[in-house]
Amino acid sequence: MDTTAALQGAALKTAPGLRDTLRHVRYVATENPVTLGAFVLFFAFVALAVCGPWLTPYDPLASDTAAALQPPSHAHWFGTDALGRDILSRIMVAARLDFGIAISAVFASFFVGSVLGSIAGFHGGWSDRVIGRISDTIMAFPLFVLAMGIVAALGNTVANIVLATAIINLPFYIRVARAEVNVRRNMGYVEAARLAGNSDLRTLAVHVFPNVLPPMMVQISLNMGWAILNAAGLSFIGLGVRPPDAEWGVMVAEGATYIISGEWWVALFPGAVLMLAVFCFNLLGDGLRDMLDPRMRT
């Protein structure tokens, strides 16, 4: 009896919270239809990345030289490439790899960047100087060039593309986390948490960091598009993903030789999908920023 009452109480308590969230979502969606569109597109891409390999009409690796370089038709919606592979199938399979690279890179730099930035912002002093110096050194390179150098030095693998992308994005996360933590470290509630006997680490992790998350989320979604572009750029110049595997950048590179002789579909479709994915992330990032911080609207 008691438990049911408690459960009902809990339900009553969470119900308005849920309703508030739904109302907020509806407000955001109706306020800016572009953001809504970006959200829909984003979920479509995620679905493609998760289920892509099971939905393909053809085997993405099966070549069929008899049907090489076919223009888009009813059988092959996006045409076939020089080896007769179905381009639509390859694009669908590639979504997982491209998103995988971008998401793991962005989360790696988010994680490391938050830890380093929080330490720098919370403690100040020499840790701040060392971490600041690290991030300045990374920023002293043109970022894409540094990524090229890292992949070339560490070896030509997908894991190293992820690592390189994570490293070049690191300074942005460090900066955001440092600035946001620094502003909050002497606020009343942080002092209160400290006086209540929380250790520095606990104060930072439980009381300060959750408040830093919203600006970090904006940074993540703005960064995601860039991470995909970067990974595709690296594989376009022949780093990371090896040719038989399908990846949007590699597919554009494979199509590059044919575009001048008029076989536009080989490069156009993967390029357009790549562009759409980056566009979607950028719109999402702008939308999130407007939502969380209207002052930064430009």
Partner 1 sequence: MLKLTVTRLIGALPNVIGVVIVTFLLTRALPGDPAAYFAGPAATQEAIDQIRAHLGLDKSLAHQFAWYLKDLARGDLGNSLSTGQPVLKELTSRLPASLELTLCGLVLACSIAIPLGVLAATRPGSWADHLCRMLATAGVSLPTFFTGLLLAYIFYYLLGWAPSPLGRLDVSFSAPPPITGLYLVDSLIARDFELFMACAKQLVLPSVTLGLFVMAPLMRMTRASMLGVLSSDFIRTARASGLSRAKVLYAYAFRNALLPVVTTLGMVFSFLLGSNVLVEKVFAWPGIGSYVIEALVASDYAPVQGFVLTMALLYVLLNLSIDILYGVIDPRVSVEA
Residues that bind partner 1 (CB under 8 A): 133, 136-137, 140-146, 148-150, 152-155, 225-226, 229, 232-233, 236-239, 249, 252-253, 255-256, 259-262, 264, 267-268, 271-272, 274-275, 278-279, 282-283, 286, 298
CB of 278 to partner 1, least distance (A): 4
Are the C-beta atoms of residues 192 and 182 closer than 8 Å to each other?
A: no
Nearer to partner 1 by Cβ, of 58 and 269: the residue is: 269
DSSP of 222-289:
HHHHHHHHHHHHHHHTT-SS-TTS--HHHHHHHHHHHHTTT-THHHHHHHHHHHHHHHHHHHHHHHHH
Pick the closer one to partner 1 by CB: 92 or 284.
284
Structure tokens at 56: 């393909």
- Residues constituting the chain: 298
Question: Closer CB to partner 1, residue 212 or residue 253?
Answer: 253
CB of 115 to partner 1, least distance (A): 21
- How many secondary structure helices (H) and strands (E) does the chain include? 11, 0
Phi then psi for 86, rounded to 5 degrees? -75, 120
Shortest distance in whole angstroms from residue 144 CB to partner 1: 3
Task: List, in order, residues 6 or more apart from 168 with CB less than 8 Å away.
Answer: 138, 141, 143, 144, 146, 147, 230
Measured from the CB atom, the residue of 185 and 289 that comes closer to partner 1 is 289
| Minimal distance, residue 263 CB to partner 1, in Å | 10
Residue 209 or 255 having the CB closest to partner 1:
255
Strand partners, 80: 86
Minimum gap (Å) between residue 267 Cβ and partner 1:
5
